[in-house]
Amino acid sequence: MQTEILIAGFGGQGVLFAGQVLAYAAMDSGYEVTWFPSYGPEMRGGTANCTVIIADEEIGSPLVAHPQVLMALNAPSLDKFEPQVVPGGLIVANASLLNREVERDDVRAIILKANHIAEDLGDRRMANMVMLGALLTQLPVLTLEQVKTALKEHLPERKQYLLEANYRALDAGAAQAAELIV
């Protein structure tokens, strides 16, 4: 088993953090893992993406040309990476920042207004965790509880006050995705 996930968006959206959380959860669960970030020189607003590979045996390369899963936090990321997802794959996209639907009919799609959901929860910075919660409903490798445990164990001490907000965002994304799977 090998699952390849691409998470993409603007810098400042928590793209790399969402990938790290997945990687930690998989590693803590005994899987082989790679986390490969890619970002522009800008602190916020530039492009950012990362690939996470989760496998039950050694991983040959951290590079992913055609991921099974795409988590697109904005329209440019969906535009750029939608064609690369393997047929039968999954796209989780943030409708709050999209100007179109997923165009492919050979992939499963979850389109949710992650920014709006995060704002309703009281913290717009949690859109990445809303998206991750939605993704986990369709990712049989990891559970929501494994990701929550990884957050608790790996979130820096100075950020522990955000733990409950992250949990609420994960739960809200999972609940929304259960209603929206296409």
Q: What is the pLDDT of residues 155-165, one digit of tens each?
A: 888 888 888 99
Task: Classify residue 142 by its DSSP letter.
Answer: S
Please tell me the predicted confidence (pLDDT) of residue 98.
85
Please tell me the predicted confidence (pLDDT) of residue 139.
85
Distance from C-alpha of 181 to C-alpha of 25, rounded to nearest angstrom = 24
Please tell me the predicted confidence (pLDDT) of residue 181.
56
**61 versus 144: which is more confidently predicted?**
144
Distance from C-alpha of 68 to C-alpha of 64, rounded to nearest angstrom = 9
pLDDT digits 0-9 by tens, 46-105: 678 899 999 999 988 888 889 999 999 999 999 999 999 999 999 999 998 888 888 899
pLDDT digits 0-9 by tens, 5-38: 999 988 778 889 999 999 999 999 999 999 998 8
Mean pLDDT over 101-125 rounds to: 90
Res. 138: pLDDT tops 70: yes
Res. 182: pLDDT tops 80: no
Please tell me the predicted confidence (pLDDT) of residue 156.
85
Instruction: Dump strand ranges (E) for 26-174.
Output: 32-39, 47-55, 69-72, 90-94, 108-112
Span 2-180 CATH architecture: 3-Layer(aba) Sandwich (3.40)
Please tell me the predicted confidence (pLDDT) of residue 167.
95
- Torsion angle in degrees (nearest 10) through CA of 38, 39, 40, 44: 180
Please tell me the predicted confidence (pLDDT) of residue 47.
77
Token pair for 1: 């088993």
Please tell me the predicted confidence (pLDDT) of residue 133.
94
For 6-63, what is the HEC assignment? Answer: EEEEECCCCHHHHHHHHHHHHHHCCCEEEEEEEECCCCCCCEEEEEEEEECCCCCCCC
**What residue ranges do the domains of the chain occupy?**
2-180
- Among 148, 126, 144, 128, smallest CA distance to 136 is for 144
Please tell me the predicted confidence (pLDDT) of residue 14.
82
